[in-house]
Amino acid sequence: MELILQNLISPVTLAFALGMIARWVRSDLEIPSAVYQGLSIYLLFAIGLKGGVSLSVTPVRELIAPAALTLVLGVLTPLSAFFFLRSLGKLGRTDAAATAAHYGSVSVVTFIAAIEAVKISGMASNGYLPALLAVLEVPGIIVGLLLARESKGAGMKAAIHDVITGKSIFLMVGGLVIGALCGPEKIAGVAPFFIAPFKGVLCIFLLELGMVAAGRIQDLKAAGFRLILLGCFLPLFHGSIATVCAVAVGMNPGGAAVFGAMVGSASYIAAPAAVRLALPKASPGIYLTLSLGVTFPFNLALGIPLFLYLAKNAPKFLS
Amino acid sequence: MELILQNLISPVTLAFALGMIARWVRSDLEIPSAVYQGLSIYLLFAIGLKGGVSLSVTPVRELIAPAALTLVLGVLTPLSAFFFLRSLGKLGRTDAAATAAHYGSVSVVTFIAAIEAVKISGMASNGYLPALLAVLEVPGIIVGLLLARESKGAGMKAAIHDVITGKSIFLMVGGLVIGALCGPEKIAGVAPFFIAPFKGVLCIFLLELGMVAAGRIQDLKAAGFRLILLGCFLPLFHGSIATVCAVAVGMNPGGAAVFGAMVGSASYIAAPAAVRLALPKASPGIYLTLSLGVTFPFNLALGIPLFLYLAKNAPKFLS
Amino acid sequence: MELILQNLISPVTLAFALGMIARWVRSDLEIPSAVYQGLSIYLLFAIGLKGGVSLSVTPVRELIAPAALTLVLGVLTPLSAFFFLRSLGKLGRTDAAATAAHYGSVSVVTFIAAIEAVKISGMASNGYLPALLAVLEVPGIIVGLLLARESKGAGMKAAIHDVITGKSIFLMVGGLVIGALCGPEKIAGVAPFFIAPFKGVLCIFLLELGMVAAGRIQDLKAAGFRLILLGCFLPLFHGSIATVCAVAVGMNPGGAAVFGAMVGSASYIAAPAAVRLALPKASPGIYLTLSLGVTFPFNLALGIPLFLYLAKNAPKFLS
Amino acid sequence: MKKKLSLVTIVTEGILKEQFSELLQENGASGFTITRAEGQGSRGVRARDWEGPNLRFEAIVSSAAADQILAAVEKKYFESYSVIAWVSNVEVVRGEKFVGEENV
Amino acid sequence: MKKKLSLVTIVTEGILKEQFSELLQENGASGFTITRAEGQGSRGVRARDWEGPNLRFEAIVSSAAADQILAAVEKKYFESYSVIAWVSNVEVVRGEKFVGEENV
Amino acid sequence: MKKKLSLVTIVTEGILKEQFSELLQENGASGFTITRAEGQGSRGVRARDWEGPNLRFEAIVSSAAADQILAAVEKKYFESYSVIAWVSNVEVVRGEKFVGEENV
Ligand SMILES: Nc1ncnc2c1ncn2[C@@H]1O[C@H](COP(=O)(O)O)[C@@H](O)[C@H]1O
Ligand SMILES: Nc1ncnc2c1ncn2[C@@H]1O[C@H](COP(=O)(O)O)[C@@H](O)[C@H]1O
Ligand SMILES: Nc1ncnc2c1ncn2[C@@H]1O[C@H](COP(=O)(O)O)[C@@H](O)[C@H]1O
Ligand code: NA
Ligand code: NA
Ligand code: NA
């Protein structure tokens, strides 16, 4: 409970809430679209850089198990999401596949919120997590698109090209490579821009995200009760499994919790763009509402503290 | 004199002058409107945050007198401005009321310039001033609109809703609440974005404001000599009274000077938007020219040093 | 060799490369034009400020020789460029003059990259260099326009007015004056915005520049082999002469290398705008391709390390 | 099948975004497109305040709705605000999208 | 000499920028102009994702090309994407610039 | 009362903002609206320099003024700059605002 409150009362989370309120009181607040795009570019590139730097100081051997686990879960979570969305959620093939692509990929902001929560809780984390984030971003989307079995051959190839060269992935991977090549000393020169103000920039970004999410929440009714439940169950299910596995492959408890939040999260930056292009018949009213309107706030409020709790106590169960 | 020069030769004031020069030499310099809006969002939210943090560490008892004084002056200054604009300024009811709304509200940038001047002068200030700023922003506008007696009933209610949910007030109050909830430790994480670069961002903002003000100054002739005089008299009059009252209720001399500058200033962000919507027949050529073209530069150059001088010496007179 | 690699593996250079790759893999990455303009305003104003501050602490006597040298080279380099572009490059008068204007002026980003390279190499530099940058920016453009002999009288006067009040020069000179008036202490207040994050902002700017340059490189074939060679020869020729002269007038080796890079560089911010207005018949396919597609990357990769090497060893030859 | 309809274009102050969005929808527009614009007119260049630049609304509507929109704009806004509006004839495919089922 | 041509305007989702640029060029447009737009339509206000706002394409083309473009848009995009398109008559100078030499 | 007038649209390089603003006013436009645009044309995609993107000017003018504007654009700019321009027929209310008192 204490953990939950600690997590909720932070500038980042409150900025998200402020954005939602802005919509509800019908404020004329608006983040100009150019500014929003500028912020996105900044955040993705910065997170890549950070991950790259930490990669450059992590021995490869230490990385193998976590990276393998990430890949495996990146393939399994969209399958599991697809299964539940079809069976319990009663979605059609295309909508289920589109939504599964979102749950297979990852929400960068949830990841960052988890990192912060771990910092506040004082638990030890793992420096290479941003690299895993980049690894986790892509496969889920591709599996999701394959599940739709709609676009084949050239269409599928084009879709995969679009996902990989899409600006979100491109910037994050680009930042990762630059960070890894430069290492900590050379990145120090750009740290006052890319590292120190990062969390502040995130506040403004979340202000906008809150506004968008508030619009989405109005669509919840249309989505139906079953889907809302799934939007809470899927992150719990995927995230808990991921947390426990992470502890099992030797990650620090803090790192395992972040890993759980990552795997449990649903993308709302990279995946929607890819899905809109490749599966135009899938309804954004379903996949965006679930990922941004249900799963994201759920993780912020409940998911992250839970994964923290689990990570702290998993070692006992495991041994 | 020394004080005046000290005040004028600062990056912030000179950026304003540079903006004016840009217009006069017909440079093609332009701040893209998306950037300008981004900067405004940043500045208002940041100032709110700062105020909120200082609120969170100020005992309530210390706040009561200054807050009450702020409210009283927030109601009286538009009335006094209305009186002078009608009698000496010979303005019609609507124009006088519209302009009074501006003088009743407050200019955030004047406030910040005053804070800086106090810092340079080495006098002690009060941490809770940004909170007073938020308190002072709204009532003056509402009194001004009421003075116009134009829009009644539903119209007035809509106007007040627009003022309060208008993005300026919304962001500042939102920041205030977040700052107060989070307190200094949690805000420290976003300080490298919201606190440290603040003054630099303000420079770019003032560059733009200088360009707009230069355009306004060309309208001075149309405004007439009487109004220009009033644009200098009103800040002096309101500001001096406010400074003395602030000293009387026990604010530090530096804080009292800032308070004087606040009360003496005229809004050109929140008020114009509200007035344009609620009193469309009032002429922006009058209210914007006075607040941005006369009172703002007057306060920067003369008002602030004067209030500083007054605040330093008021204790003697009072005792 | 070591120097070259050291120079190439930096966040700034790699961001430029990432931008080029973005175009080649046909990523949908785009920097919104408002953001790009905002970044340009920031960078030019910041570099001016920095130069102004260093001016304010440099004795005038120390400045005379370097400033005179800068002026002389600012007039000579466009003449020399014009000569080579006409004779070896076989360009028509207008195209040669337009291109000469670019080589006479200076690339701000090359300048900054050189400053960084010197910092990494540990050599001593000179604080007043940003002031020389401002001096070097203008004359080359004017000489270039005069060489075209196209626009005379009023046309020429208007063109010179446009160059001087053009936003690039205006912002840089404006920043310079403000920096010089305020001096180091007052600028300290805005340093967390204008100084510390500078290199990081530059990364994003170079990302965009890389994308533009990649487009330009596709035009290389059209430009022809002779011109490409000239795009490598001119910076070498101008830069080496400038480096040696700088050592001769007593600049530090690091400063001399930066000076060489400056003089050797070709403008792609101020000059293209002026040339487009004053010499509309000159082909951007030639001048932009040479300055941004050939000379800029050439200087980043080979020019700067070479001037560093030369500056280190020139004293021996000279004595 | 192509269908002849009217394109109403309105340029007005940024601050009126909400109001014009409602005005269009109340007077029969099934949707509209907004672009940011800057302008110069008989009132001189306006100070750009935080409300941002002008907005340029476009709506494809039936010719009756176009008249109705123009009349509403004229009545409520012409006197006190910076507004200009014009109508032109256009052809669309899928005309039923724009005029409601009843009057296609 | 003024020449009568068609102006095709298309408003669509930002994500389709590349695809519509190609579609226009493949169907006879010698060029096009894009402005960023925001909009409201029958599908309700869309969440703004990173793909940015709507785009508004304009292309001056021959009347045959206009028909061809509309047909292509209708066939490929109307069903699954947010797209609207209209055509109007305009007059240009230098008409040969827009329609290719063969059919001026 | 509705009045028939001409709508002149010009798309040109951002650097010419000042010049086209003057050109329009000198040739009888009582005002104009500018939107930022991006474009592709016969000269290929232009490098975006700091001058920003293309600008799209719109002016409601009398049909005589429209001809005059097109002629001026053709004479001064077509050869050396990226410019395209077209005219269409529109109807406005309050026509006197756009054409000066003398010729309403
Ligand atoms: N003749 C015109 N043609 C096109 N747009 C115009 C014209 N006159 C005015 N405008 C636009 O309408 C806005 C308001 O005009 P005004 O009320 O005359 O100041 C201006 O800022 C322009 O964007
Ligand atoms: N009647 C209309 N007039 C002008 N633009 C429209 C209209 N209807 C829709 N639009 C534009 O087309 C986009 C997609 O519309 P829709 O597919 O109906 O959601 C909207 O976001 C608007 O920009
Ligand atoms: N056929 C066309 N339709 C609409 N806009 C065009 C067309 N051709 C060119 N343009 C616009 O005019 C600008 C200059 O064209 P150009 O001079 O052909 O490169 C382009 O960047 C486009 O914005
Ligand atoms: Na996931
Ligand atoms: Na006041
Ligand atoms: Na040079």
Which residue's CA is the closest to the ligand 1 atom numbered 15? Answer: D41
Q: Which chain D residues are closer than 8 Å to A32 by Cβ?
A: 52
Three-class SS state of B78: helix
Report the pLDDT value the prediction gives residue E96, as an integer from 0 to 100: 77
The pLDDT-based confidence of C217 (bands split at 50, 70, 90) is confident
Contact C266, C137 (CB under 8 A): no
Q: How far is CA A86 from CA A80, A92, A145, C294, F18, in A?
A: 10, 7, 15, 56, 60
- Span B305-313, average pLDDT: 94
Q: Do F and A share at least 3 CB pairs under 8 Å?
A: no
| Helix or strand holding residue E102 (H, E) | none
Q: Which chain F residues are closer than 8 Å to E93 by Cβ?
A: 70, 73-74, 78, 85
Q: How far is CA D83 from CA B286, C303, D70, D79, E96, in A?
A: 20, 56, 11, 9, 36
Report the pLDDT value the prediction gives residue A3, as an integer from 0 to 100: 66
DSSP notation for C63-100: HHHHHHHHHHHHHHHHHHHHHHHHHTT---HHHHHHHH
Report the pLDDT value the prediction gives residue C99, as an integer from 0 to 100: 97
Q: What is the rounded distance in angstroms from the CA atom of residue A118 to the CA atom of residue A111? A: 11
**A52-56, A242-246, B100-104, C257-261: segment of lowest average pLDDT:** A52-56
Q: How many Cβ atoms sit within 10 Å of the Cβ of residue F37?
A: 21
Q: What is the ipTM of this complex?
A: 0.94
Residue C69 C-alpha to ligand 6 middle, in angstroms? Answer: 13
Ligand 1 lined by F100 (C-beta under 6 Å) = no
Closest-CA residue of C relative to A32 is C34
The whole-angstrom distance between E53's CA and the closest CA on chain C is 12
Question: Whose atoms come closest to the Cα of C268: which ligand?
Answer: 6
The whole-angstrom distance between A281's CA and the closest CA on chain E is 5
Residue B171 C-alpha to ligand 5 middle, in angstroms? Answer: 19
The minimum-distance atom of ligand 3 relative to the CA of F81 is 17
Query: Of chain B residues 20-79, which have a CB less than 8 A from chain A?
Result: 32-35, 37-38, 41-42, 45, 49
Report the pLDDT value the prediction gives residue A197, as an integer from 0 to 100: 97
Indicate the average pLDDT of chain C. 91
Q: Which chain F residues are closer than 8 Å to B32 by Cβ?
A: 52
Residue A194 C-alpha to ligand 1 middle, in angstroms? Answer: 43
Query: Of chain F residues 39-58, which have a CB less than 8 A from chain E?
Result: 39-42, 54, 56
Q: Among residues C204, C85, C74, C76, which one has the least CA distance to residue C135?
A: C74
**Which chains have at least 3 CB atom pairs separated by less than 8 Å from chain D?**
A, B, E, F
| Percentage with pLDDT > 70 across chain C | 97
The whole-angstrom distance between B6's CA and the closest CA on chain D is 29
Query: Of chain B residues 109-148, which have a CB less than 8 A from chain A?
Result: none
Of A38, A171, A178, the CB nearest to C11: A178
The minimum-distance atom of ligand 1 relative to the CA of F58 is 4
pLDDT tens-digit readout, A205-245: 999 999 988 988 877 877 789 999 999 999 999 999 999 99
The pLDDT-based confidence of C154 (bands split at 50, 70, 90) is low
Contact E20, E94 (CB under 8 A): no
Beta bridge partners of F54: F37
Residue C281 C-alpha to ligand 6 middle, in angstroms? Answer: 22
The pLDDT-based confidence of D103 (bands split at 50, 70, 90) is very low
DSSP notation for E25-61: HHTT-S-EEEEEEEEE-TT-PPP--TT-SEEEEEEEE
Indicate the average pLDDT of chain A. 91
Q: Do A and C share at least 3 CB pairs under 8 Å?
A: yes
pLDDT tens-digit readout, B192-221: 999 999 999 999 999 999 998 898 887 787
Question: Whose atoms come closest to the Cα of B137: which ligand?
Answer: 5
Ligand 3 lined by F53 (C-beta under 6 Å) = no
- Span D39-47, average pLDDT: 66
Q: How far is CA A267 from CA A99, A296, B254, E1, in A?
A: 10, 9, 50, 55
Report the pLDDT value the prediction gives residue D45, as an integer from 0 to 100: 46
Q: How far is CA B182 from CA A5, A7, A306, B58, C74, in A?
A: 11, 11, 22, 14, 56
Q: What is the rounded distance in angstroms from the CA atom of residue B154 to the CA atom of residue B152? A: 6
Q: Among residues B314, B249, B250, B275, which one has the least CA distance to residue B147?
A: B275
Exposure string (b/e) for B205-228, b if CB count within 10 Å is 16 or more? bbbbbbbbbbbbbebbeebeeebb
Of C14, C30, C32, the CB nearest to A181: C14
Report the pLDDT value the prediction gives residue D7, as an integer from 0 to 100: 98
Q: What is the rounded distance in angstroms from the CA atom of residue E8 to the CA atom of residue D7? A: 13
Indicate the average pLDDT of chain E. 86
| Percentage with pLDDT > 90 across chain C | 71
Spatial CB neighbours of A236, under 8 Å, sequence gap ≥ 6 = A264, A303, A306
**Which chains have at least 3 CB atom pairs separated by less than 8 Å from chain E?**
A, C, D, F
Report the pLDDT value the prediction gives residue C86, as an integer from 0 to 100: 96
- Span B76-91, average pLDDT: 97
Q: What would the two tokens of residue B114 be?
A: 């005053």
For CA atoms A221, A227, A228, A229, give the dihedral sign.
Answer: positive
pLDDT tens-digit readout, D3-12: 999 999 999 9
Q: How far is CA B63 from CA B44, B126, B129, in A?
A: 22, 10, 10
pLDDT tens-digit readout, A6-23: 778 899 999 999 999 999
The pLDDT-based confidence of B172 (bands split at 50, 70, 90) is very high
**Which chains have at least 3 CB atom pairs separated by less than 8 Å from chain F?**
B, C, D, E
Q: Is the pLDDT of residue B150 over 70?
A: no
Inter-chain touch B280–D80, beta carbons under 8 Å: yes
Q: Is the pLDDT of residue A177 over 90?
A: yes
Closest-CA residue of E relative to D22 is E40
Question: Whose atoms come closest to the Cα of C237: which ligand?
Answer: 6
The pLDDT-based confidence of C116 (bands split at 50, 70, 90) is confident
User: Does residue B167 belong to the interface with chain C, where contact is any CB pair within 8 Å?
Assistant: no
Inter-chain touch C28–A166, beta carbons under 8 Å: yes
| Percentage with pLDDT > 90 across chain B | 72
List of chain F residues with pLDDT < 50: 45, 47, 101-104
Contact C137, C262 (CB under 8 A): no
Ligand 1 lined by F25 (C-beta under 6 Å) = no
Q: How many Cβ atoms sit within 10 Å of the Cβ of residue C284?
A: 18
Q: How far is CA F68 from CA B196, D88, E94, F80, in A?
A: 55, 21, 15, 19
Residue D42 C-alpha to ligand 1 middle, in angstroms? Answer: 7
